[in-house]
């Protein structure tokens, strides 16, 4: 509320917990300006019905309970005589209420102050985002206009209030420890509680805040009294004196080094009768390098003045939410006021993947036992990844190729054929040919891809189709049920388990050390490919027994590299489904893992063109658990 009159502030974003500040901020900004600084204002709710409800249940009682507003707001007190549910007039200005789905209402009149409530629930109209449309109406008051957005966050990367807060100066609150005077930015990690004698049961009723400096335990009464010491700090990273600096890191390092004034190392206190904030400064020259034009606030329920929001209750809700995706999201959003990161495994960054790229002596590094290809068909190009596989599905990205042209064109298919017959070599000269490939049959070239794959069944070029976009089920990467006779006449693509494949790939990308499942990349891999490998997030859809999860591409992100890796992984599982023992093959080539590698003795694989074009007789394969006939392994090898 102080930021509403702070010099320089033009936008306020409040990403805060439920039942904490949001509605009071909107009410009091309206009341202050209607009484002391009248101007045209608007409150935007997610829907028109919500706007009417907010007017009846919050604005009308607020006016009725405030003597200063009762004197000026209402039909009898205005020249125009206008006073409806969605329009409140007062001398010198008005308050309009509308829904975010009504672009016409948002763009109808010039405004000085616009307040957006529950922005994460807004729908995107054909004319764009409600916040963008509404902010355009502030142009007539550019010198003192104010845009306010408030909401509890939702899903990380999809939350509108998170995006708005990230653009702000990112203010966070601190309180003073009752014993040592240390300023602490309260987080849930500061809340501790006792466990039972078995070490597994929890006693959330004992939960309390612990000072990170002196270790003192705060009672609930002491937590409430500490709120009187709240100060807000700009925490956005700043660039000054030739380097990037984090005010929180500067402060943390100062107090750990027992600096007598750690706060003064990172901030300057800026206070008057109307505002109060710690402005972030450069630790070298002392310049205020973070603009306050966009003031952002983040506060969890640890800052709530209500006893019902005690650390004990917060801890109990945290314990009860464990193992339940829905409850965990609600807890993070409503209690900690933080966006929820979907359960997609450990977070992986493009920078981390780039830093672990390796230099190889040859196209095929040691450890590779066989090669598969993943082929993704786009409208005007074909993308291919060549992947080498070793013990326990450890992998190496050997090559990535893009063939320009429509797949239906003979020249494009000829270029792909030539690439599939390519031989890659290890440093000692051992050759490796493709053992299998999976090609996507979806898209706009389905018939052409079907025909191409049918003619190359004998080369183990399998046409595939992903199932997750349709059902969301997590099925095995390669179908458990053996396919029926798969000849040119009865050809059908293999439906692979895309969810399971992408689960494995994301889990493998997060691995930091070589070993089972680890994914190796050479220094020839560019950032764009890593960005595409991380281009999808897991989402949950439906409720109860109908709840399903699937991987969905982020907005505006290409994902061809991820699809190629999925198809190459599916090709490996297709080979294993036909009887391949990957670890045994690696042992035959290199010797048992952990021993000296055996010298290469396996002859070069024949070029693709010399392999029989007839499809393998899959119906003759023995069923799982059945005793194999003599000569089965030899036939499979051939």
DSSP 8-state class, residue 213: T
pLDDT for 395 equals 96
CATH topology of domain 350-466+483-524+563-620: Nucleotidyltransferase; domain 5 (3.30.420)
- The residues pairing with 42 across neighbouring beta strands, listed in sequence order, are 96, 114
pLDDT for 481 equals 56
| Nearest C-alpha neighbor of 188 from the set 318, 297, 298, 308 | 318
Q: What is the number of helices (H) and of strands (E) in the chain?
A: 21, 28
Q: How far apart are CA 112 and CA 145, in angstroms?
A: 5
Q: Angle 115-117-121 (CA atoms, 0-180°, nearest 5)?
A: 135
Domain with CATH 3.40.50.300 in the chain: 19-151
- The residues pairing with 395 across neighbouring beta strands, listed in sequence order, are 389, 519
Q: Measured on CA atoms in the order 497, 436, 393, 525, is the torsion positive or negative?
A: negative
Parts of the chain with a pLDDT under 70: 75-82, 199, 325, 342-346, 468-474, 480-490, 540-549, 593-638
- Residue 42 exposed, middle or buried by CB count within 10 Å (0-12, 13-18, 19+): buried
Q: What is the three-state SS of 360-402?
A: CCCCECCCCCEEEEEEEECCCEEEEEEEEECHHHCEEEEEEEE
**DSSP codes, 17-41:** -TTSSHHHHHHHHHHHHHHHS--EE
pLDDT for 197 equals 75
Question: CA–CA distance from 402 to each of 204, 350, 385, 419 (Å)?
Answer: 57, 21, 9, 10
- Report the residue count for the chain: 638
Q: How far apart are CA 241 and CA 254, in angstroms?
A: 19
pLDDT for 603 equals 38
pLDDT for 599 equals 43
Domain 19-151 has CATH 3.40.50.300: yes
pLDDT tens-digit readout, 508-554: 998 888 999 999 999 999 999 999 999 888 776 654 445 566 788 88
Asked if residue 571 lies in contact with residue 372, where contact means CB atoms within 8 angstroms, the answer is yes
pLDDT for 607 equals 40
pLDDT for 328 equals 87
Domain with CATH 3.30.420 in the chain: 350-466+483-524+563-620
pLDDT tens-digit readout, 421-451: 999 999 999 999 999 999 998 777 888 898 8
pLDDT for 158 equals 78
């Amino acid at each position: 509320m102080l930021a509403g009159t702070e010099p320089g502030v033009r936008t306020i974003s409040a990403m805060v917990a439920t039942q904490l500040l949001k509605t009071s901020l909107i009410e009091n900004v309206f009341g202050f300006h209607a009484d002391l600084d009248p101007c045209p204002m608007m409150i935007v709710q997610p829907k028109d019905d919500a706007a009417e409800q907010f007017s009846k249940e919050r604005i009308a009682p607020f006016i009725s309970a405030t003597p200063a507003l009762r004197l000026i707001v209402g039909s009898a007190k205005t020249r125009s005589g206008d006073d409806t549910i969605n329009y409140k007039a007062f001398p010198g200005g008005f308050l309009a209420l509308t829904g975010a789905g009504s672009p016409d209402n948002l763009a109808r009149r010039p405004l000085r102050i616009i307040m957006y409530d529950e922005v994460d629930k807004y729908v995107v109209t054909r004319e764009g985002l409600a916040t963008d449309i509404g902010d355009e109406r502030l142009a007539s008051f550019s010198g003192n206009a104010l845009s306010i957005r408030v909401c509890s966050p939702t899903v990380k990367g999809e939350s509108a209030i998170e995006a708005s807060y990230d653009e702000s100066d990112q203010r966070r609150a601190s309180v003073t420890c009752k014993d040592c005077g240390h300023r602490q930015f309260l987080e849930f990690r500061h809340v501790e509680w006792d466990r039972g004698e078995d070490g597994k049961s929890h006693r959330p009723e004992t939960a309390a805040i612990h000072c990170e400096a002196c270790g003192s335990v705060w009672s609930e009464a002491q937590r409430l009294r500490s709120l009187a010491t709240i100060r807000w700090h700009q925490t956005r990273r700043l660039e000054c004196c030739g380097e990037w600096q984090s005010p929180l890191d500067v402060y943390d390092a100062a107090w750990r080094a027992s600096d007598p004034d750690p706060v003064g190392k990172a901030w300057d206190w800026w206070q008057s009768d109307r505002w109060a904030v710690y402005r972030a400064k450069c630790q070298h020259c002392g310049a205020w390098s973070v603009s306050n034009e966009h003031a952002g606030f983040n506060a969890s329920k640890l800052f709530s003045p209500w006893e019902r929001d005690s650390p004990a209750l917060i801890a109990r809700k945290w314990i009860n939410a464990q193992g339940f995706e829905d409850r965990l999201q609600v807890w993070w959003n409503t209690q900690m006021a933080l966006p929820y990161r979907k359960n997609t495994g450990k977070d992986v960054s493009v920078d981390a993947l780039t830093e672990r790229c390796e230099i190889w002596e040859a196209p095929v590094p040691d450890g590779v036992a066989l090669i598969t290809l993943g082929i993704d068909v786009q409208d005007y190009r074909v993308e291919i990844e060549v992947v080498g596989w070793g013990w326990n599905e450890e992998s190496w990205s050997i090559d990535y190729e893009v063939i320009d042209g429509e797949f239906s064109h003979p020249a494009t298919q000829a270029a792909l054929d030539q690439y599939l017959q390519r031989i890659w070599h290890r440093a000692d000269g051992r050759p490796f040919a493709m053992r299998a490939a999976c090609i996507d049959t979806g898209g706009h070239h389905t018939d052409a891809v079907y025909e191409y794959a049918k003619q190359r069944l004998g080369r183990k070029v399998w046409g595939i189709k992903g199932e997750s976009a349709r059902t969301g089920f997590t099925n095995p990467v390669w179908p458990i049920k053996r396919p029926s006779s798969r000849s040119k006449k009865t050809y059908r693509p293999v439906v692979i388990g895309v969810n399971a494949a992408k689960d494995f790939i994301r889990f493998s990308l997060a691995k930091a050390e070589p070993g089972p499942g680890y994914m190796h990349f050479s220094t020839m891999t560019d950032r764009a490919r890593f960005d595409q490998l991380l281009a999808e997030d897991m989402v949950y859809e439906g409720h109860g027994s109908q709840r399903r999860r699937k991987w969905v591409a982020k907005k505006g992100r290409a994902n061809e590299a991820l699809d190629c890796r999925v198809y190459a992984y599916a090709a490996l599982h297709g080979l294993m489904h036909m009887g391949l023992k990957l670890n045994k093959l690696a042992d035959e080539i290199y010797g048992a893992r952990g021993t000296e590698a055996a010298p290469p003795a396996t002859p070069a694989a024949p070029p693709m063109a010399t392999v029989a074009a007839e499809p393998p007789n899959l119906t003759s394969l023995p069923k799982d658990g059945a005793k194999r006939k003599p000569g089965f392994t030899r036939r499979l090898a051939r």
